[in-house]
Each structure stands twice: as C-alpha cells, then as structure tokens.
Amino acid sequence: MSILVNKNSKVLVQGFTGTEGTFHASQMIEYGTQLVGGVTPGKGGTSHLDRRVFNTVADCVKETGADVSIIFVPPAFAADAIMEAADAGVGLIVCITEGIPVQDMVKVKNFIEGKNTRLIGPNCPGVITADECKVGIMPGFVFKKGRIGIVSKSGTLTYEAADQVAKAGLGISTAVGIGGDPIIGTPTKEAVELFMNDLETDAIVMIGEIGGGMEAEAAHWIRDNGNQKPVVGFIAGQTAPPGRRMGHAGAIVGGAEDTAAAKMKIMEECGIHVVQSPADIGITMAQLLKK
C-alpha cells in the first residue's frame, strides 16, 4: 500500500524549467515516477523533458489530473507556490525549497488549514516509495523495496538509514523526509501515525534532531497507542552546544527538553529502541524483527 505516494501518483513540478527542477525532474522520470507535466509562469504551451509546461498549477491539474506537486522555486516565491497548489486541489505538496522566511510559512499553515491537502517540508528531501515513485531529491538507488518505514528530519540521514536497513537484509516501504525548519507541514507524529496504519509497513525508523518537541510528541503517541510496531529511533546533534543552531533552522536547543539526551530518554521511556549511532539502525531493526 505504502503511504503518500505510489506508482499511480501523478506528479507535477513547480519551477519545472529551472536548473534544479530540470535536473531532479529528469531523475524522477528515470526512477519511474509518473511525472505528467510542470509549471513555469510565462512558458505555458511549451514542452520540457517531453512533458507539457503550464502557466498555472490549476491548468496543469485540469489537463493532466496531477494529484502531487513538488516545488523547486526560490524562497521568496515558495510560499505562494505552496498556496497555489493547495488552492488548485493538489492532495500532496512536497516543498524542497530551503530558506523560506518563517513568517511566510505561518501564512502557508493558516492557508492550508482545513483544506484537503498535505504538505511535506519545506527544506526537505521529499518522499519515496521504493521501486514505485520518487518525489524528491534523494538518490533512488539507495532505497530497496521492503517493509520498513522511515520518517526523518534530516535528508542525508534518511539515505543513511535506508542504506543501513538494506545492508541488514531489509528494505523500505516509504521514506519521508519531513524537513528541519521550525514550521513544517507534516510533523513527526503525523508521519509515524501514517506508517502505523499502513498494512505494508512492519516497523519504523524515526530520526530526529535537537530542537523542538516533535520527537517527544511522537514518542508519547506511540506509547499511548500501544507500541503497535517496533520503532528504532536516533537523534542527531548529541554533541551540539546548547543555544547554537546546528544545520537546520529548527535545530536549536531552546530548553532542557530540546537536547539530544533528553529526547533520547523520553523515546526510550516510551518503548522506542534508541541507537547511539546511525550505523546501528539496520542491525537493531533486524534483531527486533527476529524476535
């Protein structure tokens, strides 16, 4: 079944003809993603990568039936791009763009509230259902088909976790890079909940980082719902000094519960199998599934 995307997903690209859009759209097509068209205002009616280009998302959705959008536009225009896609009725919006102002994301969150759409990101690597559909910038060859779900704040650790899982003889159902900004569309708990309800996901890898309370919220939800599936957890930033932003805009320790140690303690208390290094993710998962 997978979550969010599958072989039947119809994907459009916003910022289709730009450098980033062109490169990653080509990679997605090569992976087998059903990429049906793209949007670049002013270039409607032309062709790019053997797909039609439209001036608006609404036009593209109307003509192609696209139900997923991936956004490669500069930070100053990304919020408008998200809201345009939501307004056009796109069910899943994946925003790759990094550096969107926080106040812009506040407007976006308010705009999509109550709409029948889900936002992944921004500042994320995207979503991939192994061997079916890639909507993002991740290296597709790393993701082997299987029954382990991955939810991660970190892009590179998403790939590392997938590689460790594959080396342990397992594979991935879907991997979701939720993004590391202070305001994102889908927090850790919501992604975990989707995996818990997926019949083709047997276990979950949950990767977090310092800053914010998403991991604790997800851990408490997992505990309160009976630890339905095994969860292996890792928190990046264990050696980060307090008060300093590390990498992602959301990765800054604002209080005692924001540290890696505090998050790992909460996760362990809630029944999550916490590892000290991403190199232990695959081995730990394989051991849990043998029990």
40 belongs to an annotated ligand binding site: no
Residues 165, 203, 128: CA angle, nearest 5 degrees: 60
Structure tokens at 184: 């994102």
Structure tokens at 136: 């993002």
43 belongs to an annotated ligand binding site: yes
113 belongs to an annotated ligand binding site: no
272 belongs to an annotated ligand binding site: no
CA distance 190 to 76: 27
Q: Say if residues 111 and 84 touch (Cβ distance below 8 Å).
A: no
SS (H, E, C) 118-140: EEECCCCCEEEECCCEEEECCCH
132 belongs to an annotated ligand binding site: no
DSSP state of 140: G
97 belongs to an annotated ligand binding site: yes
What positions carry a catalytic annotation? Answer: 248
Structure tokens at 217: 């919220």
98 belongs to an annotated ligand binding site: yes
20 belongs to an annotated ligand binding site: yes
CA distance 278 to 161: 7
144 belongs to an annotated ligand binding site: no
Structure tokens at 113: 């509230």
Residue tagged 């976790």 (tokens): 161
> Which residues line the annotated binding site for CoA?
17-20, 43, 96-98
> Which residues line the annotated binding site?
17-20, 43, 96-98, 159
> Which residues line the annotated binding site for substrate?
159
